[in-house]
Amino acid sequence: MSTTVPNPQSIPGTNASAVSRRWRGITSTGFSRVLGVATLVLVVWLVLFGLLFSPPDQTQQSSVRIMYIHVPTAWVAYLAFGVTGLSSAMYLFRRAHSLAWDRVAGASAEIGVMFMALTLITGSLWGRLTWGVYWAWDARLTTTAFLFVTYVGYLAVRRLGGSHQARAKRSAVLGLLAVIEIPLVHFSVELWRSLHQEASVANPSGDVKMDGLMLFSLFVGLIAFSLLYFWLVLHRQRAMYLEDQYDDADLDVALVERRAETKEHSRA
Amino acid sequence: MRDNVFVAICYALTLGSLLSYATVLLRRARRAGRVAKSEELPWT
C-alpha cells in the first residue's frame, strides 16, 4: 500500500505506548525469528555448496551451478501457487469465510510471482549458456510465462477495490481457476516435444543420475528457499492484516469527518 | 569465464531480490503497524 501514514494519534484506538510497543518487530514472533535464522544459515550453505563445494558438470561445466537456484525457485513458485489455491478453497467453502485465508492466499501469490520471475530470469540466462538463446517459444517456457502472467493478473484483481470480503471472494474464485495451470506447466515437457529437459529428480522412473554432492546442493537449495517462503508468507500475511486494519481505521476517520461536515451543514 | 559471470549474475540477482523484498516487507509491516487499530495482535 503506497499511502501516506497519518499521525497515529489521529486514528481511533491507538495510543503512544501501543505504537512504541509495536515499533520493533511488529510481525515477528519467537517462532518467526528462529525460522529466519535457520533460513539465513541454509542460504549461506546454499551459496557455499552451490558456488564452491559442488563439482562442475562434465558437459555444462560451471553453468550447472544455476540449477541450485533455478530449480528451487521454480519449486517454491509451484508451492506458493498451490497454497494460494488451497487457501482460496478454504475461504470459499468454509462457512466462516475467514479473511485470514484470503490474506494467506494473497501473500502466497505475491511471493510466488516473485519466485516465478526469478525462475524465468535464471532459466533464461542458463538457456543462453546451454541452448545459445535467451528465450525460445518452447512448451515449458511458454506455459511458465503464461502462469506468471496469470498470477500477476491475480494480484491486479486483488487491488481492484471494494470491501475486504468482496476482494476475498473474487480473488478466491480466480485463485482456484489459476491453480489448474500448475500441472500443465509441470507435465508440458512430457505432453509436447520440448527443449527443456524432463524432471531430473522427481521423474516417474525414480532414476536419479546426479553426483551426490550436486544432489545435496540441490536439496539444500530446495529446503533453504522453502523455509524462506514460509518466513515471507508469515510476515506478509501479518502485514496484510495490519494494512486491512489501517484501511478500516482510515474509513472510520473519513466517516467521523463526514458526519461532522453533515452536522455543520444542518446547523447552517 | 562467461559461464562464471552468468552464474554470478544469477546468484546475485536471486539473493539480492529476495533480500530486498524481505526488507521492503518488514518496512511496510512496521509502517502499517504504527497505525493499526487493535491493541492485541492475533499472533502475539
A56 within domain boundaries: no
Query: How far away is chain B from the Cα of A183, in angstroms, using its nearest Cα?
Result: 25
Instruction: Please answer whether residues A88 and A238 qualify as being in contact, where contact means their C-beta atoms are separated by less than 8 angstroms.
Output: no
| Residue span of the structural domain in which A71 resides | 32-46+65-200+210-246
Which ipTM was obtained for this model?
0.90
pTM of the model: 0.84
Q: How confident is the model over A2-59, as pLDDT tens digits?
A: 344 444 444 444 444 444 445 456 888 889 899 999 999 999 999 999 899 888 888 8
Q: How confident is the model over A74-87, as pLDDT tens digits?
A: 999 999 999 999 99
Using the beta-carbon criterion (under 8 Å), do A239 and B28 form an inter-chain contact? Answer: yes
Query: How far away is chain A from the Cα of B28, in angstroms, using its nearest Cα?
Result: 7
The packing angle between helices A30-48 and B2-34, to 10°, is: 170
Q: Is the minimum CB–CB distance between A165 and chain B shorter than 8 Å?
A: no
Q: Quick one: DSSP state of residue A4?
A: -
Q: State which residues of chain A have pLDDT below 50.
A: 1-21, 23
Write down the pLDDT at residue A14. 44
A32-55: b (≥16 Cβ within 10 Å) or e: beebbeebeebbebbbebbbeebe
Q: Is the minimum CB–CB distance between B10 and chain A shorter than 8 Å?
A: yes
- Cα→Cα distances A103→A49, A94, A97, A230, B23, Å: 35, 15, 12, 14, 19
Hey, which residues does A25 pair with through a beta bridge?
none
A180 within domain boundaries: yes
Searching chain B, which residue's CA lies closest to the CA of residue A23? B30
A168 within domain boundaries: yes
* End-to-end C-alpha distance for chain A, whole angstroms: 38
Tell me how many domains chain A contains. Answer: 1
Q: Quick one: DSSP state of residue A61?
A: B
A166 within domain boundaries: yes
The three cell numbers of residue A242 are 495490519
Instruction: Please answer whether residues A234 and A35 qualify as being in contact, where contact means their C-beta atoms are separated by less than 8 angstroms.
Output: yes
Q: Is the minimum CB–CB distance between A254 and chain B shorter than 8 Å?
A: no
Searching chain B, which residue's CA lies closest to the CA of residue A6? B35
